Amino acid sequence: MSLPQAYAPLTRRGIPLERDLRVLALGSFANRFGAGAVMTTSALYFTRQVGFSAAEVALALALAAVVGILVQVPAGQLGDSHGPRRVLTVFMVGAALTSALPALARTPWQLALLLALLTFFERSAGSVQQGVIAQLATGGRGVQFKAYLRAVTNTAIGLGSVFGGAALVVDETWAYVSVFVLNAVFTGFAAWNTTRLPDLPAYVRLEGEPRLAVLRDWPYVAVVALTGLFSLHFFVMELGLALYISERTAAPPVMVAVLLVVNTACVALFQVRLSRRADSVEAGARALVRGAVWIAAGFAIVALADRGDATFAIVVLVVGSLVHVVGEMIGSGGQWGLQMGLAPHERQGQYQGFAGLGFSVIAVIGPPIVTLLCVEMGETGWLVLAVLMLAVALVTVPVSRWALASRERYGVLTHSG
């Protein structure tokens, strides 16, 4: 007797057993490898080589982020209504053609325009791809495959950052520009790779059905708002921790890079394993609570780093970061279980595009909140964040039950969980 699909192995020796999932993984690796190289170098290129101020670069990035927020749901809907694989290919080609263009910017407004254009294609492709994943990784494997993809993309970003680091060592304009070109080449490969995926059927709306039904699905909106708020912990550890280390602890600044490497390695090694029990709505809500407990404990430990000398601070930061990353991996599985499990299978594009809005909005409002709590308030701020994570996760449990009951009541079937 064969194992049910949800319990069958997803990979063998780290490679997905199903061809379509292998194709998705390969494209994601290529795409994020180039992105990792650009992430490492772009800020220094625009400030040191082109001559923009840090504020001008930040403003351009913020404007591009707003574009990303606006396009996610319509792009997902477009994928659902016109066939997600075909629409994904179009957006990926657009991303490949615009990936290197920001390197040509010579004024802040040119930079903002070119980044906004690139973001339009990248975020649109990302929304549609989430729908493709949900349709191909069926039988309860959606969460498991997203966990696998997160490990793959973290590895790709890490390897890409090594290439970007080489450009930083050379520190010449041509080296920085070559990173942008590399990203375009790898994104082009990822675009071609999407043509190897099967054509997926377009969703035909029923008469009287709203075009963007997700916007009227209040239980799902509530869940996305909560999972988006839960995502604040990513910005705490990426931005807040870096500022906290430099401003309030005796630890050397290099600890920022060390902790990033530790986080990336842990996710690459353990994300799949720690997401296995989050493959349904109920299990996803429970996983979010378990993850919040670990995250809150990690925050409470990190809060102590300003109480001692450099050695004490280093030990506390490492321990706190390790505790946090366990919660990060468990909680991520919980988020995916909720977002995918509550979405109608045939409208995964618009629903997953909307789910991404939670993270995108936090990306805009999170940095000032994190700066206030982690740096200005210090230990108290870290404890406030710990309580916030626990509260959000606990509230998500009854809200997810409400959302699930609304689907059962109206006969909305979700096959992704």
% of the chain beyond a pLDDT of 70: 92
What's the rounded mean pLDDT across residues 71-94?
90
Which pLDDT score, from 0 to 100, does residue 408 have?
A: 63
Contact 11, 146 (CB under 8 A): no
Query: Per the domain annotation, does 14 fall within a domain?
Result: no
Cα gap 169→189, rounded to integer Å: 27
The answer to whether 91 touches 124, Cβ cutoff 8 Å, is yes
Residues 121 and 267 in one domain: no
Which run of H or of E encompasses 172?
A: none
- What is the distance between the alpha carbons of residues 36 and 42, in angstroms, rounded to a whole number? 10
Whether residues 188 and 252 share a domain: the answer is no
Q: Is 298 found in the same domain as 238?
A: yes
- If asked whether residues 369 and 223 sit together in one domain, one would say yes
Tell me: do 170 and 270 sit in the same domain. no
* Residues 58-67: b if buried by 16+ CB within 10 A, e if exposed: ebbbebbbeb
Q: Are residues 256 and 286 in the same domain?
A: yes
Query: Which residues constitute the domain of residue 40?
Result: 19-140+156-194
Q: How many domains does the chain have?
A: 2
pLDDT reported for residue 4 = 43
Q: What is the pLDDT of residues 114-124, one digit of tens each?
A: 999 999 999 99
Task: For residue 163, give the nearest of 152, 174, 179 by alpha carbon.
Answer: 179
Same domain, yes or no: 187 and 323:
no
The verdict on 88 and 228 lying in the same domain is no
CATH number for the domain harbouring residue 373 = 1.20.1250.20
- Is 148 within a domain? no
Is 260 among the domain residues?
Answer: yes
pLDDT, one tens digit per residue, over 210-251 is 667 778 889 999 999 999 999 999 888 877 888 888 888 999
